[in-house]
Structure formats: C-alpha cells, structure tokens
Amino acid sequence: MSKHPRGGGFLLALLDQGFEQEKPLYLVNPNADEIQGLTCYPSLLDTPGPVDHVISSVPARAVEGLIEQSIEKGVRSIHFYTAGFAEIGDPELAALQDRLMARAVDAGIRVIGPNCMGLYVPREKIAFQNNFPPEPGNVMAISQSGGNAMDIVFGLALRGVRFSKLVSFGNASDVAAPELFDYAAEDPETEYVISYLEGADGGRALFEAVRRCARIKPTIILKGGLTSAGARAASSHTGSLAGSRDVFEAMCRQTGAIRAATMTELHDLLIGVSTNLRRVQGPRAMMVGGGGGFSVLAADAMANVGVDLPELAEQTTAELRRLMPVAGNSIRNPIDASHFHSGDAREDSLREVLRVAAHAPDIDALFVTTGSAPSWIDPPAPGQKPDPERERRRAERRLLAEKQSMQDLIDLQAEAERPVIGVRRARGVERWLTDEVLELAYAHGLAVFPSLPRAARTLGRLLEWRARREGLPELF
C-alpha cells in the first residue's frame, strides 16, 4: 500500500468502524497480504465467507473481471468508485459502461455508480469519509456528486443535522434518482429529503417519484447544470443531460418540492423545514438585537425577500418603552437592543424585551441576534501579552456565555407563539457559534443562521413554498 493511498478516506472509514460490524469486512488487493493488521485477499473469490456488498475502486480495465467474480460469488450489490466511463464523453466508453453494468444487473446485482462515492449509512456503520458523524439522523441525502454530498454532510453536521442515509450515485447506470426518491418517501427513518442532481434523464419517472416523495415529506433539490456552462460541466462530470431551468423549476412547482438555488441555500432550507421555522404562518417579522446599522441592513435584506417588519402595536411599543432607555436604542421594529449586551442587569432587561416580543400581536416570526459572547468577558489587561492558559479560560467562559445565550433563545422559543430565529451578528468571516452550541439549538428545533440575509431569505422561500403547496397534504 502506498504512503498516500487513493481512496484512503473511505478505506479508513470502513476500518475505523468495521470492527464493530456484525458482518465481516474483507479486504481484497492482489498486491498486499495485510493492510492495517487485516488480512488482504488476492481476489474476491478467495474471501472465506459470503459477500453481500462490494465496494470497488479497481481501475476501469479491472471492472469486467470484478463483475464476473461478483456473479460467481453471489454478490447482491456493487458500488463502483471507478471512473473513466460515460462521463469522459467518448461513445465507446459509454457503450462499455452500458455493457458491463447490464451484465451485472442482468445477473441480479444492483450497481451504484460507476464514478461515485456510494453509501453513507451511519446505522449500518458504512461511510465514505472517516470524519462523517457516526450517529444516525432523519435526513436522507440523494446526491449525484460525491464531493457535493460531502459538502452536504459537513455543512449540515456542523449545524446539528444528522443523516439516515446518503447515496452518491454518479453515472447512475442502475440505481438512479427516481428509485431513491421512492425509497426516501417510504423509509421510516427519513423525515426530510435533500438532493443534488445533475441529470434530468429520468424525465417522467423522476417527476413522478419526486411528486410521491414531496407530497408527504419536505423535499429540497439543488440542480446543477442549469446554465449552458454548467450543463457542459455536468456532462463531463457524470455524463448527464442537464435540462433547462424552466423545466426544473416547473417540476418543483408542480410536485411540491423546493428548488434550492445554491449549495448554501440547500443547507439553509433544510434547517428551515426541520426546525420550528417551518411553522411560520406569514411574512410579518419582528427583529430584536444587533445595533443600529445592522438593523438598517437587516430591514433592507428582509424587504428584498418579501419579509415585512411592520410597525408595532401601541401596546407593544408602550411595554418596550417601559423596559428600554430612550437614548441609543430604537424601540421601533427592528429593535436595536445592542446597548443591552453588557452587564447582568441589562441582560435581564433584554430577556424582558424578548418576552414582550414573543407575545406581540400580529407578528409571525421573531428574529433575534445571537452568538457574540459579550466582549467584557475577561479582557486582557492593558499592555499584557496573551497568555495561553488565560486564553483557554477565556474561551471556556465565552463558550459558557454562548451556551447560556442559546439556552435563553430555546426557552423563549418554548414560550413564544411564533418561530424564533437565531441570527449571527456577523463580525467578519470567521466568527460563528461552536458546533456544540449549534447542536444544542438544533436539538431543540431552534433555527439558527450565520447571517441575517440568509435567515430572511430562508423564511421568504419557505413562505413561497407553503403557498405553492395549496392542495397538497399539510406536512407540519
């Protein structure tokens, strides 16, 4: 085995988790006797027990032999990492893919790929990256691209989401999108479905499967290749025919699915449908926090996506005026509570302001900024050089403050009569809540976004989507 094995990630993923498997895991490699202490067999036929599933990264020229061995061995499914087929754009290679995969399928073997990352099924301890979360969840991801599947897992895992199954299916020679949407619709472990597609090859079958799935489970789809440059890239990547934006948009509209415009929006919409935010009933928002300039830009961002910040009821204004000092805070909506963020007495007042907001009449959603631990926590003394131990303690105190602030929002959510949405008050690219705090929020159904524009846009898109589902079953 070379120092930097290709496919090392998935191999290690299996090795890491394989020891706890109920079923044995066999390694096959004609050039090694042993890998990381596990016996290596020269061929599939030399493995000592029955084999259900083969994970293959053999080169394209060795695929035919492996299929013949798999048929002889009674294998039920093969996942091919192997690339070099239809995606090359050479008709001979496309024909070779068709012939080889048909040979497997005709013999009763299901094929995933070729040219894909395959399966991530945490409950079965199968993963193609050794740093995917080991805990199972309730989101199924259907992704033609393995790299984009990794973006989905890493991006959402940070925010507390966990997965029931993920299938990266590449050139889709056998297992393809329509069947996977049907699986997702029926799978009791799956409550939400997200998908990255390149091909629209399935045509009617894809439409019908998405319709069956989106009818009963929130289904969000990001489609790559909707511009001509993107379509050209999709053809090189998975040999897909990409289809037009209009057709795809119409499919989402007619099936009740949600189209995500970007990978970021795919993540945000999943947070939207799988937290209390999904229950939002209208566009009338209230915002508390942030500071004046932030409030101005927040109001602009909301207006641009159809979210209103109505004038508050007189009763609400009167209650707020009682709680807030006049100077330096706006009690008009958005409410600039930035001056509350220093000192315990002020924090208590902020809680009271939030309680008023939680019950204000004629408000559908409450945006609250969160995440910046107060800057007064243990600042370095003047002229003092940073001390690692002090910095560590400071980080601990900041984490505690972050957690307390998130717990306050969780409590507020429990009492509020509308969704509460936590929004990062952005200070540069890097600052964001720690994984632990984001997971705490998500576990309590609280939607949290890394910026106000993303939060507002998600709310706007969810409202559009709910309006379009008129006539379909209520999902929430």
Which positions from 162 through 181 interact with a copy of itself, judged by CB under 8 A?
A: none
Nearer to a copy of itself, 1 or 45 (CB): 1
Nearer to a copy of itself, 256 or 334 (CB): 334
The structure tokens listed for 371 are 């995440």
Q: Is the peptide bond before 310 cis (omega within 30 degrees of 0)?
A: no
Measured between alpha carbons, how far is 199 from 183 in angstroms, rounded to an integer?
A: 19
Please give the DSSP secondary-structure letter assigned to residue 338. G
Could you write out the DSSP letters of every residue in 88-120? G--HHHHHHHHHHHHHHHHTT-EEE-SSS-EEE
Measured between alpha carbons, how far is 317 from 354 in angstroms, rounded to an integer?
A: 13
Please classify residue 441 by burial: count the beta carbons closer than 10 Å to its beta carbon, then call 0-12 exposed, 13-18 middle and 19+ buried.
buried
- Do the beta carbons of residue 78 and residue 112 sit within 8 Å? yes
Nearer to a copy of itself, 50 or 89 (CB): 89
Tell me which residue of 14, 103, 24 sits closest to 67, measured CA to CA: 103
Measured between alpha carbons, how far is 37 from 34 in angstroms, rounded to an integer?
A: 6
Q: Of the listed pieces 177-185, 202-210, 397-405, 420-428, which binds a copy of itself according to CB under 8 A?
A: 420-428
Q: Of the listed pieces 203-211, 224-232, 270-278, 400-408, which binds a copy of itself according to CB under 8 A?
A: 224-232
Out of 148, 164, 276, 405, point to the residue binding a copy of itself (CB under 8 A).
Answer: 148
The site for a copy of itself, by CB under 8 A, has a size of 104
Q: What is the dihedral of CA 162, 205, 242, 132, to 10 degrees?
A: 20
Q: Does residue 239 touch a copy of itself according to CB under 8 A? A: no
Q: Of the listed pieces 172-180, 212-220, 228-236, 466-474, which binds a copy of itself according to CB under 8 A?
A: 228-236
Nearer to a copy of itself, 314 or 344 (CB): 344
The structure tokens listed for 22 are 């109920």
Tallying the residues shown for the chain, one arrives at 476
Out of 224, 256, 371, 422, point to the residue binding a copy of itself (CB under 8 A).
Answer: 224
* Alpha-carbon torsion (443, 445, 448, 449), positive or negative: positive
Judged by CB under 8 A, the chain residues 114 through 133 that form the site for a copy of itself are 115, 129-130
Out of 30, 62, 98, 154, point to the residue binding a copy of itself (CB under 8 A).
Answer: 154
Judged by CB under 8 A, the chain residues 421 through 460 that form the site for a copy of itself are 426-432, 435, 450-451, 453
Judged by CB under 8 A, the chain residues 355 through 414 that form the site for a copy of itself are 374-376, 379-383
Nearer to a copy of itself, 256 or 453 (CB): 453
Out of 315, 342, 362, 391, point to the residue binding a copy of itself (CB under 8 A).
Answer: 342
Minimum distance, C-beta of residue 73 to a copy of itself, in the bound complex (Å): 25
Minimum distance, C-beta of residue 441 to a copy of itself, in the bound complex (Å): 13
Out of 21, 228, 281, 404, point to the residue binding a copy of itself (CB under 8 A).
Answer: 228
Out of 326, 361, 386, 476, point to the residue binding a copy of itself (CB under 8 A).
Answer: 326
Please classify residue 286 by burial: count the beta carbons closer than 10 Å to its beta carbon, then call 0-12 exposed, 13-18 middle and 19+ buried.
buried
CA separation, residue 350 to residues 166, 272, 361 (Å): 42, 26, 19
Q: Of the listed pieces 78-86, 184-192, 213-221, 359-367, which binds a copy of itself according to CB under 8 A?
A: 78-86
Judged by CB under 8 A, the chain residues 262 through 321 that form the site for a copy of itself are 262-264, 290-304, 308-309
Judged by CB under 8 A, the chain residues 10 through 29 that form the site for a copy of itself are 12, 15-16, 19
Judged by CB under 8 A, the chain residues 27 through 56 that form the site for a copy of itself are 36
Report how many helices (DSSP H) and strands (DSSP E) the chain contains, helices first: 15, 16
Q: Of the listed pieces 22-30, 120-128, 146-154, 206-214, which binds a copy of itself according to CB under 8 A?
A: 146-154
Tell me which residue of 66, 40, 52, 192 sits closest to 126, measured CA to CA: 52
